[in-house]
Amino acid sequence: MSYHMLPSTKTGDFIIAVVDQIKVGNESDFGAFYQFVTTDKEGNKRVIRDPMAWSLPYGIYAPAEVYDINSVLKNRKDHAYYRSLEQIFRKNGDNRIPPSTNLLEIHTGLSTNEGTIHELAMRFQQTGINIQKDLPLTTFQTYLAGFDGVELMPIEPVIQNTEHHKFWTQVHEPGESTDELTIHLRRPSVTNWGYDTPLYGAASVNPSLLSTGRPHELLQLIETLHNFPAGPVKLLLDVVFGHADKQAQLLLPDIFFAGNNMYGLNINFKHPLVRAIILEIVKRKLGWGIDGLRIDASHDITYYDAETDTVHIDDEFLREMSSVEAEAAGVNFRPWMIFEDARPWPRSDWELACTYRDVTFQQKHPHQWGPMIFAYNTPYTLTYWLSKWWRIREQCRHGNKWITGYANHDTFRRGTQSDPSKSNVNHLLGNSLKAVMEKAYNNPSATLLMNGFLPGVPMDFLHPLSGTPWSFIRNTDTDFSVKITAQEAHFTEWQITSVEFQHTRFFKKLKNLGFVTIDGFRRFAKTLQFLINVTGNNLKLTAELLNQFEPPFEVHDWDIKKLNHFSSCWMQDMCEYCNTDMHTETADTRKAIFNFHVRQFRLRNPWLNNNFGHDDFLHYKDPAEGSVIYYGYRKNEVTGKEIIFLANMEGQANQVTPTQFEFPIKHPKKWRVAVSTPSVRAKKIDQPLRLSISQGIIFETAEHD
């Protein structure tokens, strides 16, 4: 590789270099790599890299690539999608992309063995081919089908382990311009849940998620979804602007930051340059053809008012993000916006006081995350579906602007982090903690309720859909790696049985470290969590105390180095264990098909996303008498179609007859079964049926009845 030093000019706060005939990257070739080097009076050199780069093939600590985004986008293959959008825009008198009917949340890195955007696109492509040719879908393909919206957890570059993630290493320092350089390159292999971002490079794609190192893999996925044979599928990105990891201080100037917060650093939104850069990042993301954005923790996008000594949410900036206009295939559009906003967070009473409607009230068009999908929900506990009745009722009245559901990356992880000995576990859901957790977050009656009956845009998460364990996993630092690992102690109870632990394909690193049994491993994991908490993450003291326990743990002679090695082993093993491809053999095919059928029902009835009408209702059987039976009625006022919902949300089996409730059933023969949970065999609405826990049914009439 040849090295060139180019002249530059300082203009105000900016350094400018104009270069002609430079090699540019595209779908198949890498372009030139660039960075700015400044030398102070003492001769010390400082490297400054481009925070707005389109491509960072070797991570955040390597030079950026000159990438010809215009030529890549010029050949996009989804023009028909944008022509249809134009018609929608003209009809609506607005170029805001409308919401999807439902959503599938995906963590790209753990969704396939390869863990890349390219492989994910291939899975969707093959699913589409099978649908087009009317071929049977594999179980995994049923997880992907039946959605008209897909949301990827953050795909921008994340922080790196500065000791181990050296993907670009110069063998020697360059001398003069045109000298040849020897660079040692490694394919990026960063594992992260996606939310540990440095803000730097956020307009590019995390290279660890690229099979070829070429950002156009994102365009391929967009094209595949926009051209999906069963109907266009929107692609949304989850983006993080509420905080930056502290590694950002190594990459960006101080003007970007406004002090510390619980997740790292506050971003200085009041600085005009910072504000403009973030808005440009939004525009560049959308320019790929992204249909919408989910703004992570928008309640953390704040600024400090020195005069009043108060912190305020920057609602004006939220509006500015929503107003960003992009262009794809010659069509100008503004994105569908989703805000995760739980104000008055972090006030102590936020769970009670939060309306989940503040941003929607202000901007009218956006959706917000609804209350049932925030992390504090615990569907694995007894009486959950009674205790949340007040929020369910709110969803009936004004849930049309909510992202709804009950399983996502937050709720599922918080469930597996909870201490089962301190939780009122609903053991009717399963005969083991693992079975309880799997049923709680892939519950047929809850799916029927959220996807088949209630207002809002229901969102499913690929991991619980596929029966795959889920945990927040990262191999990106050593400062907090042991603490993060310790927080997952109860995962060993909720998500690992002796069968999985003894399986030869799982937990190889931990077994090589010396752990032999699941009981021995659980004892150590829970003890480590306790010690990390009481010592304030003092690893030296934690190691000393671990060595004093009697009887000794299966692995002993602990020190700081060994604790960090244990954390690394845990993360590597979990990266395999929490990959959906590793659990295809144990997939519940019947449940997968049922979930698919419910989603198809929703797509056929998009009017269900609207709030309840005058005659619509949802009640629960009172007195409960040992089981929580939800029953409800909805009517499409335009077409006349009616549906009836009946489900045992939790508790003992109960025999009911739909006609015993206050449903407006005038002609029973006009009602038919639309969809029912596995093992429910009812055919007629006026016959009794026995509903066990998690069982339910939806009846429907024809339109214009």
Residue range 268-311, pLDDT digits in tens = 999 999 999 999 999 999 999 999 999 999 999 999 999 999 99
299: CB partners within 8 A, 6+ apart: 242, 313, 340, 341, 342, 343, 345
Mean pLDDT of 654-681: 95
| Portion of the chain with pLDDT greater than 70, in percent | 100
Q: What is the pLDDT of residue 704?
A: 66
Q: What is the pLDDT of residue 268?
A: 98
Cα–Cα distance for residue pair 334/293, rounded to 1 Å = 10
Residue range 325-359, pLDDT digits in tens = 999 999 999 999 999 999 999 999 999 999 999 99
Q: Please tell me the pTM assigned to this model.
A: 0.97
SS3 content of the chain, % helix, strand, coil (to 5): 35, 20, 45
Encoded tokens for 558:
């602990």
Q: Using CA of residue 271, residue 264, residue 459, residue 237, what is the dihedral sign?
A: positive
Give the Å distances, CA to CA, from 335 to 109, 228, 332, 394.
25, 20, 10, 26
Residue range 147-199, pLDDT digits in tens = 999 999 999 999 999 888 999 998 888 777 888 889 999 999 999 999 999 99
Cα–Cα distance for residue pair 434/416, rounded to 1 Å = 9
Mean pLDDT of 94-117: 98
Q: What is the pLDDT of residue 214?
A: 97
Residue range 489-517, pLDDT digits in tens = 999 999 999 999 999 999 999 999 999 99
Question: Do the Cβ atoms of 292 and 333 come closer than 8 Å?
Answer: no
> Is the per-residue pLDDT at 478 higher than 80?
no
Give the Å distances, CA to CA, from 189 to 59, 417, 570.
10, 26, 16
Q: What is the pLDDT of residue 270?
A: 96
Q: What is the pLDDT of residue 698?
A: 98
Cα–Cα distance for residue pair 446/453, rounded to 1 Å = 10
Strands 168-170 and 183-185: antiparallel
Cα–Cα distance for residue pair 649/122, rounded to 1 Å = 37
477: CB partners within 8 A, 6+ apart: 159, 161, 247
Give the Å distances, CA to CA, from 664 to 86, 627, 632, 634, 659.
41, 24, 11, 10, 9
Question: Do the Cβ atoms of 206 and 190 come closer than 8 Å?
Answer: yes
Task: Compute the C-alpha angle 300/305/308, nearest 5°.
Answer: 125
Better-scored residue on pLDDT, 19 or 219: 219
> Is the per-residue pLDDT at 94 higher than 60?
yes
Exposure of 529 in the CB half-sphere (CA atoms within 13 A):
17
Tokens 């995906």 — which residue? 106
Cα–Cα distance for residue pair 125/444, rounded to 1 Å = 27
Cα–Cα distance for residue pair 457/464, rounded to 1 Å = 18
- Cα-trace Rg, the chain: 27
Mean pLDDT of 654-662: 94
- In this structure, the chain runs to a length of 705
Task: Give CB contacts under 8 A, 24+ apart, made by 168-171.
Answer: 168/58, 168/59, 168/61, 168/62, 168/63
Mean pLDDT of 530-547: 98
- Domain layout of the chain by residue ranges: 1-102+161-212+238-369, 481-577, 613-700
* Matching CATH number, 613-700, of 3.90.930, 2.20.220, 2.60.40, 3.40.1350: 2.60.40
Burial class (CB in 10 A: 0-12, 13-18, 19+), 624: middle
Mean pLDDT of 670-692: 95
Q: What is the pLDDT of residue 132?
A: 98
Mean pLDDT of 556-566: 97
Residue range 373-431, pLDDT digits in tens = 999 999 999 999 999 999 999 999 999 999 999 999 999 999 999 999 999 999 999 99
19: CB partners within 8 A, 6+ apart: 6
Q: Mean pLDDT across the chain, nearest whole number?
A: 96
Q: What is the DSSP string of 530-549?
A: HHHHHTTS-HHHHHHHHTT-
Q: What is the pLDDT of residue 389?
A: 98
Residue range 605-617, pLDDT digits in tens = 999 999 999 999 9
Cα–Cα distance for residue pair 617/606, rounded to 1 Å = 18
